[in-house]
Structure 1
Amino acid sequence: MNEKLVYENWDDQVQQGLNKDLKDFMDVIKWAYRVYGDKILYSCSFGAEGIVLIDLISKVDPKATVVFLDTDLHFKETYSLIDEIKKKYPELKIKMIRPSLTLEQQADKYGHNLWERDPNLCCHTRKIKPLENELSHVDAWISGLRRDQSFSRRNTEYVNKDNTFKRVKICPLIHWTWDDVWSYIELNNLPYNALHDNNYPSIGCEKCTTQVLKAADTRSGRWATAEKTECGLHQPK
């Protein structure tokens, strides 16, 4: 099973065959790094799923490239966690990717507090465009999407055609539950974002993330005051 999919020469049959043959999350990760080598990156938000994937990926490729979309608007707890992870996995290439516009430049161009008035434009400027630039140098990227995160992610496969970024998107954790994620973190004594202990299951930028009720959808704290459920990195299939 050495089939290498690239977006420009996408083959639905190959994709279907891979998704049938790949048995579990480690099988997916091993295949991804064997086939794509240095032409793959992991885009990590450093949430709970992200920590699990960093640990799993480090077992396959200790020098893998991990990118974090640093919008300049994240919680201090997120930045503290990234420092911890850098110390725990010193060989990983963790890249802090910044937007082309500083917050001051963005305010000059679009007005202050863009995330309140036009969160889609803010995400596009500070997350989508920077990731698009990083992905232009690789053939594939890894994401921590899980099917039970939201209705829009229910059809995610291990290997996906990503029409947003024109790349192959690989999602090893699609069958994991929220309990699976935390069991792995606890069993392996992994560091995690302290906000998770205070009813923040899904953590993004500080301006657009709120606490949620324990019984609520794990992503209900993201853009809670806007008609928005995704930043745009992951479009529903």
Structure 2
Amino acid sequence: MSAFSPDQIAAANAALRTQSPLDVVRWAIAQAHGRAIVSTNFRPYEAVVLHLATQVQPDIPVLWVDHGYNRAATYQHAEALRARLKLNLQPYLPRLTPAHRDAIYGGIPTLDDEEGLKKFSAQMKLEPFQRGMRELAPTVWITALRQVQNPHRAGLDLVSHDANFNSLKVSPVFYFSDAEMEAYLAEHQLPNEWDYFDPAKADEKRECGLHAAWGGRAVASAQ
């Protein structure tokens, strides 16, 4: 359980709102007592949060669910960032290979198949992510969530308690615009990746379950 009360989280958000993302990361890692992680899927702009986290803690574990459906450009981007930032990458893979899953359940569900998408997400993304969170057991989870990404995330903040994983979730670039993300990449000469596709979402305004309440219940029902 997060050691922070709702009042403490509200106070942290108020204090951090005017701080830089790097200062937010410094604060987050100071709260973690050696048990911070950063998660990534190597989507566009992810290099920003990975650069921030490794500036403060170079060996911070980087939790990556490689569901096997990434495009070639995303895998190449992941390897480039791993080398550039010397990432302590911790990949977690589903218990089913993509070929096995497709043979048994068919291809990636379509956007109008909500139940199919949730089952796909539970099998190929949420289960390995939950496994990774159990094994790495972070007290602080640093994410690249931003307010502008979709309607659900607009209700979050820089700091929140994550009920799915009982950790303090810190999103240092939560209030950054796309233009600010672009400027950060340019300033630090970091690569970006625009060919990314998340089959567990099918649409950018959908949640895959990692940051939504239903995700915590989805895995058991999909086994």
Correspondence 1:1-12 to 2 at 5 A? 6-7=1-2, 9-12=3-6
Helix, strand or coil at the partner of 1:58? helix
> Is 1:98 aligned to 2:93, yes or no?
yes
Correspondence 1:209-228 to 2 at 5 A? 223-224=202-203
Maintained 8 Å contact 1:48/1:182 = no
Quick check: 59-68 or 162-171, which moved more?
Answer: 162-171
Helix, strand or coil at the partner of 1:141? strand
Aligned match of 1:229: 206
Aligned match of 2:25: 29
Helix, strand or coil at the partner of 2:101? helix
Maintained 8 Å contact 1:65/1:94 = yes
Q: Cα offset for 1:114?
A: 4.9
Aligned residues: 205
Letter in 2 for 1:40: A
Aligned match of 2:117: 119
Maintained 8 Å contact 2:150/2:206 = no
What is the CA–CA distance in structure 1 between the aligned matches of 2:193 and 2:70, rounded to whole Å?
Answer: 12
Could you state the TM-score of these two structures normalised by the residue count of structure 2? 0.83
What is the CA–CA distance in structure 1 between the aligned matches of 2:62 and 2:31, rounded to whole Å?
Answer: 17
Correspondence 1:141-220 to 2 at 5 A? 141-195=141-195, 203-205=196-198, 207=199
Helix, strand or coil at the partner of 1:184? helix
What is the CA–CA distance in structure 2 between the aligned matches of 1:38 and 1:126, rounded to whole Å?
Answer: 29
Percent of aligned positions that are identical: 20
Maintained 8 Å contact 2:29/2:140 = no
Q: Cα offset for 1:142?
A: 1.2
Helix, strand or coil at the partner of 2:70? coil
Q: Cα offset for 1:204?
A: 3.1
Letter in 2 for 1:177: S
Deviations 1:5-30 (A, max 9, x none): x43x5511111111122233222100
Of the candidates 131, 150, 174, which is equivalent to residue 129 of structure 2? 131
Q: Cα offset for 1:178?
A: 0.6
Higher RCO (C-alpha under 8 Å, 6+ residues apart):
2
Unpaired runs of at least 5, structure 2: 214-223
What is the CA–CA distance in structure 2 between the aligned matches of 1:61 and 1:134, rounded to whole Å?
Answer: 19
Q: Cα offset for 1:194?
A: 4.8
Q: Cα offset for 1:140?
A: 2.3
Letter in 1 for 2:182: W
Q: Cα offset for 1:37?
A: 3.8
Helix, strand or coil at the partner of 2:190? coil
Maintained 8 Å contact 1:147/1:153 = yes
What is the CA–CA distance in structure 1 between the aligned matches of 2:117 and 2:178, rounded to whole Å?
Answer: 27
Letter in 2 for 1:94: L
* CA RMSD between the two structures: 2.2
Q: 1:20 to 1:73 in 2, by over 3 A?
A: same
Maintained 8 Å contact 1:141/1:167 = yes
Could you state the TM-score of these two structures normalised by the residue count of structure 1? 0.78
